[in-house]
Amino acid sequence: ETGVTQSPTHLIKTRGQQVTLRCSSQSGHNTVSWYQQALGQGPQFIFQYYREEENGRGNFPPRFSGLQFPNYSSELNVNALELDDSALYLCASSLPGAEQYFGPGTRLTVT
């Protein structure tokens, strides 16, 4: 059984640029959630996707957007990057309503 994988591992971008992060869900899981974790804080919920549609969103602006594909993999897109977007971005997969299993994360640095 393959766990949740994320790519890339690390990324450095400049303020104002756009970034795309990728997540492959655990086998059999059709729900993907994305979280942002700033240094020294707990993860904060960004949004969740189920059957290719956004299915819940946290307190993040519209420049944070996502996609889910028919194979349940997902992308997180962030436009107009700001310095405060520097964080660890975590993807978690699950069956609907069940416990979520996290990937290793993507460390984004915005300079």
Which residues here bind other proteins, judged by CB under 8 A?
4, 31, 33, 35, 41-45, 48, 50, 55-58, 88, 90, 92, 96-105
Q: Which amino acid is at 73?
A: S
User: Considering the complex, what minimum distance in angstroms separates the CB of residue 87 from other proteins?
Assistant: 12
Q: Which is nearer to other proteins, 40 or 70 (CB)?
A: 40
Give yes or no for a contact between 74 and 8, defined as CB atoms under 8 angstroms apart: no
User: Considering the complex, what minimum distance in angstroms separates the CB of residue 16 from other proteins?
Assistant: 27
Q: Tell me the longest C-alpha to C-alpha distance in the chain.
A: 39
Q: How far is Cα 32 from Cα 75, in angstroms, rounded to an integer?
A: 10
Q: Which is nearer to other proteins, 62 or 80 (CB)?
A: 62
User: Considering the complex, what minimum distance in angstroms separates the CB of residue 75 from other proteins?
Assistant: 17
Burial (CB < 10 A; 0-12, 13-18, 19+), residue 61, is: exposed
Q: Which is nearer to other proteins, 81 or 92 (CB)?
A: 92
